[in-house]
Each structure stands twice: as C-alpha cells, then as structure tokens.
Amino acid sequence: MVDVLIPFRIGLTGGIGSGKSTVARLLVERGAALIDTDAIARALALPGGAAIEAIRLEFGASVIDPEGGLDRARMRELVFADANAKSRLEAILHPMIGLECNRQALEAAGKTTVFDVPLLVESSHWRTRVDRVLVIDCSNETQVARVMSRSGWSREAVLAVIGQQASRERRRACADAVIHNDGLTLDELAQQVDMLLARWAPVEQSRRSSGARPT
C-alpha cells in the first residue's frame, strides 16, 4: 500500500486555567492549524450567530443580552443551577460545532491539525477523530490562581467550574501525552511542546491511506 500524506490530528484538552490556550498558540507557531471549539461556540452565540434563535426558543429571552447575543453570565447561572440546562444548550451547539470543525479541517488539509476541545474527555466521540490526545495538566490551586488573576472571578466561582469539568485523573487516563504545567516558564513550556512534537514526528510524517490510528 502506498503511503500518502494524511493530516496528523491532535486532540488538545485540559481544565480551565491549565495553560491549554498557550500550548495551542505554541503549536500554531510551529505550523499547526488550530480548530478551537470554544471559539466556534462563542461565534455561534454572538449577535446574529447561527445558534441564537434556537437558544432563544429553548431558554427564553432572559438569556439574550441587549445586543442580541448570548448572555453568558446568565447562562452560567442556569447551568450551575440545573444540570439539564447544560445538556439542552449542548444539544443546540454541539451539532453546529461539529459541522464547523469539519469545514475548518478541510481547509487545513495537509497540515497537522490541533483540535482544542475543553470537553474532549466528556465527549467520547472525539477519541475516534484524533490520532493523539494531549492533556495539559496542573494542580487545582494553580488553576484557581490563574483564572482569578485573569478574570476577576471569585475562588468559589472557579472551583464551581472545575467541579463541572472532568477530573484531572480522568483526563490523564485518556491521554497519549501529558504536559504538567505547574510553575513552568513560557520557554520551558515551549521546550515541552518541542520535545513532544519530535517524539510524534515519525507518525506525523508517514500516514497510511487506510486512515487507521497510529500505534
């Protein structure tokens, strides 16, 4: 069978405040195409976004801000108060996110493609869509400190978000590689990314036309 170039697909995930977005940027600087599912979700829920009318019909006008986009603070309150609200929102957004991911992946043909998916572990179908899963991990205390410093959220609000995400142990159990991002400088984090890419280079450079996951 003839070897052909098939894009190498990395699933990138990590808890809030883990440094996942910084790693995504480092990967892009090294030539990867980034597909950011959070950015796609935000765009869908902006004024005039494809998901706004469905969200309005499902949750009512109270979750729509004066500009006509999703009131994220209000929706966050609903999700924290009612787990079913999260499922209802995901039922609207996830199919649309999937379609946009497919479109962007086609545009990135030939490049290493990084799917930045905060809920990769929770959404098990992602495991079949990527060749390697990279988890960015750090302690809960580091997560809290980072998010409080950048967002102004209270400690309790950050802990509430962490509590709704997959546990660190569950994410690590799904990983092909873990970068431990506690106390690393940006240069040290970049070195970790470079070492990982060097380790994965052989399977990235030669993919078989069958499309099977490399071992």
Confidence (pTM): 0.86
Whether residue 215 has pLDDT greater than 90 = no
> Residue 207: its pLDDT value, please?
53
List beta partners, residue 33: 113
**pLDDT score at 209:** 46
The mean per-residue pLDDT over the stretch 197-214 comes to 63
Question: What pLDDT is attached to residue 128?
Answer: 85
pLDDT at position 203: 62
Please provide the DSSP assignment of 102-122 as one string: HHHHHHTTTS-EEEE-TTTTT
Burial class of residue 105, CB neighbours in 10 A (0-12, 13-18, 19+): middle
Please check the confidence at residue 99 and state whether its pLDDT lies above 90: yes
- Report pLDDT digits (tens) over 54-80: 999 999 999 999 999 999 989 988 988
Whether pLDDT at 122 is above 90: no
Indicate if the pLDDT at residue 109 is higher than 50: yes
**Centroid of chain to Cα 91:** 17
- Of 97, 99, 121, 100, the closest CA to residue 12 belongs to 121
d(CA 66, CA 167): 36
| pLDDT mean across residues, the chain | 89
1-32+111-202 sits in which CATH class?
alpha beta
Q: Which residue has the higher pLDDT, 16 or 206?
A: 16
Q: Model confidence at 1, in pLDDT bands (50, 70, 90)?
A: very low
| Domain residue ranges in the chain | 1-32+111-202, 38-110
